[in-house]
Structure formats: C-alpha cells, structure tokens
A and B are shown apart, each in its own frame.
Chain A
Amino acid sequence: MEWQFFTEVLVGGLLSGVMYSLVAIGFVLIYKTSGVLNFAQGALLLFAALTFVSLAERGLPVWAAILLTLAAMTLIGALIERTVLRPLVNQPPITLFMATLGVSYVIEGAAQLLWGTQVHGLDLGIDDLPLEIGGVLISSFDLFAAAVAGAMVAALTLFFRYTRIGLGFRAVADDQLAALAVGLSLDRIWTAVWTAAGVVALVAGLLWGARLGVQFSLSLVVLKALPVLVLGGFDSIAGAIVGGLIVGAVEKLAEVYVGPFVGGGIEGWIAYVAALGFLLIRPSGLFGAKPVERV
C-alpha cells in the first residue's frame, strides 16, 4: 500500500512535470537560436489561451479560433522580434532579458485590456477521469498532456533535423556569424523562431488553461518553468523534458512527504531550492553547454 501510494505520487508528479516541460520548450526554442531568455513566454501563453477562449466564446468554430489565434501569435512574435529585439542586437544577454520582462508587462496588460480580466473555463473535451494502470491511479488528462508534449518534442526534433528552416535554426544557434556567411537570413530565421515559440505557447496555454482556468495567473506558469530550465540547461530541449520530469516529481513528493511537517504550501519554492542545490554541483544544468571564456 505504502509503495503503491508512493508510485501514484511519483507518476502524478512526473506527468505534471510534463506540463512544465511544455512551457520550458518555448524558452529553449528562443534561447537556442537567439540567446534571449524570453521572460515573456508566460505572457504569450496567457495571450494565446485568452484569445482562443474569447474567440471560441464568441461562437467561432474551434478550428477557426485556433487559426486566428495562431495568426495573432505569429504577428506578436514577429512584432516583438522586429521592434524590441532587433534594435537590441549585440547588447548583453541580461539587457535582452530585461527587455522581455518589459514585453511581458505589455502583453499581460494588453491581453486583459482586450479580453477582460474574468476567469474563463476551457474545456478541451478530455475527461479528467482517474485511470487504473497496474493498480496505480493516473489522471487521464495528465496522460493526454504527456502525449501532446511527446508529439510536440517529436515534431520539433524532426523539424530541426530534416527541414531546411530547422537546419537554419541549428546553424544560427551554432554560430551566428558563420550562418550569416553561408547566406542564411538571420531576420527570417528569428521571425520563424518567434512564430514557433508562439505555437508552443498556444499548445501549452490550452493545456494549462484547461487545468487552471484561463486567467491572469496563467502567465505565472513561467515561474514554474524557470527552475526546469535551470535544471535542464537553457539550450536543450531534452533538458527541458528531463528537467520538467524532475521538478514535477520533486514537487509532488516534497508536498506529500515533507509538506505536512512544515505547514504545506512549499511547492512555490521547493523546485527553486532543488534547482539551486543541483546547480551548485553542475553550474550549467544537466544538458547545458558549458561556456568557454576568453579574456
């Protein structure tokens, strides 16, 4: 019984960790190709979910709402790239980070000014029934989310490996100057990256929105994704997945086995402390590239 309960908590944690990975992948996409830690990813996620829900509530069919939201995300991504990041080329990474902090304020404000601040329910048509697998209860919604995350990672992997633009992403990530020299258009690639991040934000936003309700606090899932990134390394998609799994498991296990002794509510910081402890051993995360420095 004890063992079964432990497994249940662990599996629940791992699956909820996949939800964190979904958010973290959006960060990794942008960080890998442009070296920007995009704090606005949470705001993008909020904007995507809010736009989709509001359009759907106005009676648009689901496919139309998704297409329109995608169009909006593409537009926003391109706009951010063009108006904020391009003028800041060659600035220190931390300046770019602070700029995206500003962007997140603008998007959060705009999203709620546009669509209002009330909480919207979002039903994806997936019942959250507990399934029994091998004597362990598992949420079917979590399983669905994990499947979506798996599909997305597979799609991204194929995209990076076999498509022309995906190869371009990798070239830019590897060496911007060399990519320019062989004739890749940095502008086009960055716009494409931001669009891709917008798509990821939409997927993550829909799943998180179905779980939490579509509201302002949705943009705070960015704070859940940061320890994931720290654990996995900012520039690795595999790291985002593994980091998410670890963070999810640690959070749930700590909540159940440590929480009662200290008054509960520790999921707000336990992931950070775990990530911090881990970083002290490996300063570049699990899969992060170790920077080489020249003076």
Chain B
Amino acid sequence: MTDLALEKTATGTVRRLSPAPFGIGVLLIVAYGVPPLVASEYLFDAILTPFLALALAGLGLNILTGYAGQVSLGSSAFMAVGAYAAYNLALRLPGLPFLLDILLAGLVAAAVGLLFGLPSLRLRGFYLAVSTLAAQFFVQWVFNKVGWFSNDSPSGIVTVPPLSVAGLPLDSSAGRYLFALGVVTAVTLAVWRLVESPTGRALVALRDHETAARVIGIPVLRVKLLAFAVSSFIIGVAGVLWAFAYLRTVEPAGFNLDRSFQILFIVIIGGLASLRGAFLGAALIVVFPLLLARLGEALLGGLFDSGVLEMSQRIVLGLLIITFLIAEPAGLTALLDRAWNRICGRFRRAG
C-alpha cells in the first residue's frame, strides 16, 4: 500500500517538476553540436535531414489531426505545394532571400490548404477524410500537367538552386542539416506556443466534441479553417526542406499518396496531439527500413532482395500501425513517458 502511494506521489512530483525546459535545452545543444562533429555524410543525407523534414510534416499534420481531430489523407499535396512554390519563387524572383522564400512558400501552401479545408465546414469524419484525397490527386495532377511549375523541364524533375542564407553557403551535408534544424526548431517553438494558447485549447475542444465546442462559444468554423491553414503552412515548409535540404530536386512523384500515409503513420506511431510524437514517429519511420534491410540481409542473405525488402517493409509498417493503435494509442510518446516515470520513481525510492 505505501509503495503504491509513494509511486503515486513520485510520478506526481515528476509531472510538476517538468524536466521540459532543461531537457529541451540539452536536446538542442546535442542536435546542433554533436552531429557536425561525429556524423558522416551518409548519416546527414540518408537519416538526419529527411528525419527533420518528415518530423516537421508530422508536426503540421498533428495540429490538424491530433489537436483539431480532422483526419487528412492529402498531406503530401501540401508538401508539394510548398516545394514547388519555393522553387518557382527562387526561379522567378532572383535575389529573394531564402528565408523569405520559405515563408512565402509556406503561405502559398496555407492558402491552398485553406481552399481544400473549406469542405470541412460542412463535412465530418470519413466524408472529410475522403475529400482531402481530392487535394492529393488534384495537386499531383496539376504539377504533372502544367509545365510552367517545373519550368518546362522535359522530365518533370527539376534541380533546386543550392542552399544559402544571407550569403552564407549551406550546401554541404552538414550545412543543409543545420539549416533544416534551425527551421524545425523555430517552427516547433511557435507550434508549442500555439497549442498552449487558448486557440490550442479551442482546437482540442473542437476535436473532442464539435457540437459541444460550438455550444460553449468557440467559433468552430474559424478555428477549423485556422487549423487547416496553420497545418498546411507547416507541411508546406516541410516540403521546402524535403526539396531544398534533403533531395535537392523536386518532382511530383515524390509527393504521392504513400507519402501522405507515411506522414499520417508518423503521427499515429509517435502519438496524436503531442509535439514530441512527430519527432519520435519520424525517427522510427526513417530508421526502421534501414534496420530492416540490415537485419534481412544478415538473416537471409541473397534471398532478401529489394522486392522482398519492400514487401516486408509494408508488412512491418502495417503491423506497427495496428499494434500501436491497439496496445498504445497514445504512441511512442506515452511509452517514453511511462519509462521516464518508472526510472524517476526508482530513483526516488532508492534515494
């Protein structure tokens, strides 16, 4: 009995003395300081930079799906809008500072998001989820068909200009990583402010019960559109990072339905309505195919060709989704929280 009580207060204290600011500080120092010292080009280009871009996209979708409860199956369309907008702005307005370019690209994505968010005023649940597919297919088609967006490149694949901010070239692997990290840090801090604000709580109220939210005086329509706009802005910026910092090319095929599902999976696996969730989920999504490839090669050798790898990735990913939904709907975030509390509890009891 006493043990139980002790554990209760222990976890309670841990909650109150939230390690957040301290932990985040350490995390940022590590993120900025350590990789440039130890990471190889492979680590930057194949893991860290795509991780950052996907985490940011996950963060954007989390606002819409995790906080505001509106499921979207068309996230990668807004990544594409962001990427193409940034490319065209850089191409057609030479001399535009890149940071401004990103901001404008995000705003373009937000505008398109707002447009495709309009049906949400009338539709709910599945009907809305299906209608977001309209964005997915329409946007992909536009970028495929209208040559102007890809500067009439015959292959439809365009190379983006090298990354540089305020005259400082950032075109090395480490430079692109640090740039992405800077953008992700800034956006994450802004989102943190947002979700802790009254607007953030309005989003949650909307998710939990739309009619009830309306009854207590939340301007449901405005809040919904805001969620679509903010979410699309962030996903658009993630698209810019994906194109400029990670791939250094833009093509419509990179922003297909599978990418949209991938972003949704990041949010589910990481944890809905949690900022850390997007990062944890993205880390898992980026790392697990690489691990699976290594593991498969080690176990099966030559039998494990790229076809088998792709199929087993699909299976494992599907199983992961199902397992998380059943066993831990709050995702990796909750797992981590529990582990953390247990460690702290141990610590306290021992001390």
Interface residues of A (CB under 8 A from B): 37, 84, 87-88, 91, 93-95, 97-99, 101-110, 112-113, 117, 223, 226-227, 229-230, 234, 262-266, 268-269, 272-273, 275-276, 279-280, 283-285, 293, 295
Contact = CB atoms under 8 A, between A and B. Distances in A.
B253 interface: no
A62 B340 CA distance: 58
A266 B130 CA distance: 17
A102 B264 CA distance: 11
A279 B131 contact: yes
A242 B181 CA distance: 51
Interface of B: 71, 119, 122-127, 129-131, 133-134, 137-138, 140-141, 144-146, 209, 211-212, 215, 257, 261, 264, 268, 307-308, 311-315, 317-322, 325-326, 329
B315 A273 contact: no
Given A88-B326, A94-B125, A276 B321 contact: no
B100 to A, nearest CB: 32
A88 B327 CA distance: 9
Given A109-B313, A272-B133, A276-B134, A98 B122 contact: no
A281 B323 CA distance: 39
Contacts of A106: 314-315, 318-319, 322
Nearest to B118: A280
A268 B314 contact: no
A234 B125 CA distance: 12
A113 B133 contact: no
18 contacts: A88-B326, A97-B71, A98-B71, A98-B264, A103-B322, A104-B318, A105-B315, A106-B319, A112-B307, A113-B311, A117-B307, A230-B127, A269-B134, A272-B134, A273-B138, A280-B122, A283-B123, A284-B127
Of residues B124, B129, B308, B314, which shows the largest number of chain A Cβ atoms within 10 Å of its Cβ? B314
A272 B257 CA distance: 14
B131 A276 contact: yes
Nearest to B327: A87
A110 B315 contact: yes
Given A93-B125, A272-B137, A229 B318 contact: no
Given A109-B318, A265-B141, A273 B325 contact: no
A268 B125 CA distance: 22
Nearest to A234: B126
Given A84-B326, A105-B321, A272-B134, A279 B127 contact: yes
B315 A226 contact: no
A283 B212 contact: no
B215 A295 contact: yes
B309 to A, nearest CB: 10
Given A279-B122, A283-B127, A109 B312 contact: yes
